[in-house]
Amino acid sequence: MRLPALTSTAAYQALATHAHDARDWQMRQLFQKDAGRFPRMTVDAAGLFLDYSKNRADAETMQLLVHLARTRGVAEQRDAMFAGEKINVTERRSVLHTALRMPRGKELKVDGQDVNADVHAVLDRIKVFTDKVRNGGWLGHTGKPITDVVNIGIGGSDLGPKMAVLALRSFCHPRLKMHFVSNVDGHDMDAVLGQVNPETTLFIVASKTFTTAETMLNAQTARSWFLGRAREADLPRHFVAVSTNTDAVRSFGIDPENMFPFWDWVGGRYSVWSAIGLSVALAVGFGYFQAMLEGAHAMDEHFREAPLEANMPVLLALVGFWNREFLGASSLSIAPYHQDLSRFPAYLQQLDMESNGKRVTKTGQPVDTATCPVVWGECGTNAQHAYFQLLHQGTDPTPIDFIAALRATHDLPGHHDALLANCFAQSEAFMKGKTEEEVRAELKGAGLSAAEIEEMVPHKTFPGNRPSNMILMDQLTPATLGALIALYEHKTFVQGVIWNIASFDQWGVELGKVLAKKIQSELVGKVDPESHDSSTNGLIVMAKAAQIE
């Protein structure tokens, strides 16, 4: 559907008028005057619980936001995505990461091809392979079982698998140690190669085309390292591929029987559910990998079927849109109160900013509003002792998504109560703040003089009224992790539909890659002084001089 400019719509203008009043709201008062605020502004789905009541919004705000979502075609675009329509308009592709977690036997045809059958054929191969490695049946070239797995990829071929393996640490195989190499910086590969044994290491080269520059440089380095300690005939026992380029895979020395494909309707940042998740399946076992897919599918079904006003991804997206567009929030902080989710903020950075970090609409017109906020974050409670100072008393109100599990997967006494206490307390503190009157009373009770109190009041006052969401699960398991990832995938999708931007391409990563190829050739060859600006030329000259020294 062809959409009008967002700010020209009656739905947006109604929100803008409403926002004028909302700027003066205090969340303390919103809670005080509405005893039903918490139950009304919470929702359960797929093993997750979302509390969005600590936002500067009321029932009318949410009604207006849901109306905007309807007028922008969120439901229609959602249905088109699940049906396999080519909603990736700039690449003319379907967007079917959701098909990767559909149960077996649910037919979905795209261009005449049964997608579900293809997906499960690959999943069956993944199960056979991962079972063999995990039970010790897959042996290295000297007859020893695999002890280390090195995933070589970049972007979605690294961020998703690495995040998931760390998140599911409690479910991982005790013998297999997982490593991830993504950076073209040789220090990344060097650090991993120093830890592994060529007799017992399996390398996964994850590149759809088998031409990704950073991945293939790292893969060739790993290959050379291995061949310095083994024969070329031994390569198939130690290297497998996630790719579709059979000829390149065979030329590298990998048996095509050990090549696991995926499809062009799977974007990199949405690919952890595909064969890109091979390292996850190796780490936790195919059964738990399947449970992760099932958790995501449960969220998919909720997203498809729940009315917009009770739809968890839609509500999370609308609250984020409200904070971004009308309350001036230019960034979003992700604060998982679970150490095993330490890479989740980095994962969401790619998911959100690569999807919706766009400045033109699907039709190529400049957007007329702000789009994706900057996404950043760190695990609590570490974050409290790092950047929460800015969030509490800085000049730019920053929304926070708190993520926590009600039960731990460890049995260390005292820790989880302390963790949850900090999580819930920070959420309350961001909402309530501390008034000047409260500070004066506190300091008076501490015995400070009147002069000392007035000197300290500005420094100890917290404005509060800072928005946050709370996402809870019973425990961090493969199923709840799958649901959590899918929640944010669909949230990102909904916001992209409202902005009418192409969320499933990433042309912004291409320009730097093209220029890097030219500069790399100049670092080892002749510099063309006319080909760059004076700064870039000067930097190239400095680098070449350092290499000579």
The catalytic residue among 354, 378, 489, 522 is 354
pLDDT-derived band of residue 528, with 50, 70 and 90 as boundaries? confident
Asked if 234 and 201 touch (Cβ cutoff 8 Å), the reply is no
Asked if 469 and 319 touch (Cβ cutoff 8 Å), the reply is yes
- Alpha-carbon distance of 453 to 187, in angstroms, equals 53
Residue with tokens 């060529």: 198
Q: Is residue 517 pLDDT above 80, yes or no? A: yes
Q: Does 479 or 521 have the greater pLDDT score? A: 479
- Alpha-carbon distance of 439 to 5, in angstroms, equals 47
The catalytic residue among 106, 385, 410, 517 is 385
Q: What is the pLDDT of residues 163-189, one digit of tens each?
A: 999 999 999 999 999 999 999 999 999
Instruction: Specify the 3-state DSSP secondary structure of 507.
Output: helix
Asked if 143 and 237 touch (Cβ cutoff 8 Å), the reply is no
Query: Which two three-digit tokens encode residue 176?
Result: 């297999």
Quote the longest CA-to-CA distance of the chain: 83
pLDDT at 549: 62
Asked if 223 and 188 touch (Cβ cutoff 8 Å), the reply is no
The single-letter code of the amino acid at 214 is: E
- Alpha-carbon distance of 405 to 397, in angstroms, equals 26
- Alpha-carbon distance of 216 to 219, in angstroms, equals 5
High-pLDDT (> 70) share of the chain, %:
100
Burial annotation 295-319 (CB, 10 A radius, 16+ → b, else e): bbbbbbebbeebebbebbbbbbbbb
Query: Which two three-digit tokens encode residue 160?
Result: 């998703």
Q: Does 300 or 397 have the greater pLDDT score? A: 300
Q: What is the DSSP letter of 154?
A: -
Burial class from Cβ neighbours inside 10 Å (0-12, 13-18, 19+) for residue 183 reads: middle
CATH class of segment(s) 6-71+306-432+466-499: alpha beta
pLDDT at 304: 98
The catalytic residue among 20, 410, 513, 517 is 513
Distance of CA 360 to the CA centre of its chain: 23
Q: Where are the domains of the chain?
A: 6-71+306-432+466-499, 97-291, 510-548
Strand partners for 360: 366
Exposure on the CB side of residue 363, measured as CA atoms within 13 A: 9
Query: Which two three-digit tokens encode residue 513?
Result: 């890659």
Distance of CA 117 to the CA centre of its chain: 27
- What mean pLDDT, rounded, does the chain reach? 96
Q: What is the pLDDT of residues 63-79, one digit of tens each?
A: 999 999 999 999 999 99
Asked if 468 and 427 touch (Cβ cutoff 8 Å), the reply is yes
Query: Which two three-digit tokens encode residue 474?
Result: 């019973």
Lowest-confidence pick of 96-100, 112-116, 276-280? 112-116
- Alpha-carbon distance of 467 to 461, in angstroms, equals 17
pLDDT at 1: 65
Burial class from Cβ neighbours inside 10 Å (0-12, 13-18, 19+) for residue 341 reads: buried
Residue with tokens 């120093």: 194
- Alpha-carbon distance of 272 to 293, in angstroms, equals 10
385 catalytic residue (yes or no): yes
Nearest to 63 by CA among 21, 14, 1: 14
Nearest to 374 by CA among 398, 409, 341: 398
pLDDT-derived band of residue 547, with 50, 70 and 90 as boundaries? confident
The single-letter code of the amino acid at 111 is: D
Peptide bond connecting 221 to the previous residue in cis, omega within 30 degrees of 0: no
Q: Is residue 512 pLDDT above 90, yes or no? A: no
Dihedral sign computed on CA atoms, order 389, 392, 398, 402: positive
Q: What is the DSSP letter of 331?
A: E
CATH class of segment(s) 97-291: alpha beta
Q: Where are the beta strands (DSSP E) in 85-238?
A: 109-110, 113-114, 148-152, 177-181, 201-206
Q: Is residue 531 pLDDT above 90, yes or no? A: no
Asked if 270 and 156 touch (Cβ cutoff 8 Å), the reply is yes
Tell me the backbone φ, ψ of residue 526, rounded to 5 degrees: -90, 135
Q: What is the pLDDT of residues 448-493, one digit of tens each?
A: 999 999 999 999 999 999 999 999 999 999 999 999 999 999 999 9
Nearest to 336 by CA among 219, 485, 232, 190: 485
Q: What is the pLDDT of residues 391-403, one digit of tens each?
A: 999 999 999 999 9
Distances in Å between the alpha carbon of 70 and those of 64, 67, 326, 360, 371? 10, 5, 19, 21, 19
3-state secondary structure 270-287: HCCCCHHHHHHHHHHCHH
